[in-house]
Amino acid sequence: MQMFLLVVKKLSGNLLILNRHVKTGVYPAFTMIELIFVIVIIGILSAVAIPKLAASRDDAVLVKGKSQVAAIRSGIAMQKNKRLIEGVPLSIPPNLDNVTTYNTSDQRLFNYNDGNGSNILEYPIYSRVNHDGSWVKTAANEYKITLSNSSVSFDYNSTTGSFDCDHNAADNTKKENCKELTK
């Protein structure tokens, strides 16, 4: 005698028949052509979407760098104004931080960490060497931000208080990135 299996599950007061195909041995399933068709569609969608997402990430890194440059410049102006109010003769901050080890990761940039309010940024940017979207101090008053395809160097001039990159760089990518970061 063949067994007829009927699996019944109660759901929200209604009886649902989950599997009635054991008697015949025929189970509902997708055909191979349907599966291949779905895989092809997923492949086409991913081929279109992945480059768009990569471009969005590059744009996000650039916007992050742009906002950091604006925050650093604002912090310099704030420290200059604070020093003017306090009557400090040389009102422009001589340095942006107290980092003396260059081209290394995990340095507190734009922050003295001395507790006396002389910080350019209230919360430091931690340096990371050769990491997309990260800063590193390369010399006494020189900093570099790494973007996806190049890096842009910024110089702090303690005489004028300017924090800027080379807008006339020979490398067009660096020149364009400098222009974008300082708009």
- Reported pTM: 0.71
Query: Residue type at 51?
Result: P
**What pLDDT does 24 receive?**
60
- Report the alpha-carbon distance of residue 94 to residue 40 in Å, rounded: 61
Query: Could you tell me the two tokens for 106?
Result: 């995990």
**What pLDDT does 50 receive?**
82
Closest residue by Cα to residue 135 from 172, 168, 169, 96: 96
**What pLDDT does 17 receive?**
47
- Report the alpha-carbon distance of residue 103 to residue 86 in Å, rounded: 34
Instruction: Going residue by residue through the chain, which has 183 residues, state the pLDDT in tens, using 9 for 90 and above.
Output: 333 333 334 444 444 444 455 556 666 778 889 899 999 999 998 888 888 777 788 888 889 999 999 999 999 999 999 888 988 877 888 889 989 999 999 999 998 876 667 889 988 999 999 888 999 999 999 999 998 778 999 999 989 999 999 988 888 888 888 999 998
| In the chain, domain spans | 32-181
3-state secondary structure of 85: helix
Q: What is the largest CA-CA distance in the chain?
A: 105
Which H/E stretch holds residue 105?
Answer: none
**What pLDDT does 183 receive?**
86
Sign of the dihedral through C-alpha 66, 70, 73, 79: negative
Closest residue by Cα to residue 72 from 9, 163, 1: 163
**What pLDDT does 143 receive?**
96
Which H/E stretch holds residue 130?
Answer: none
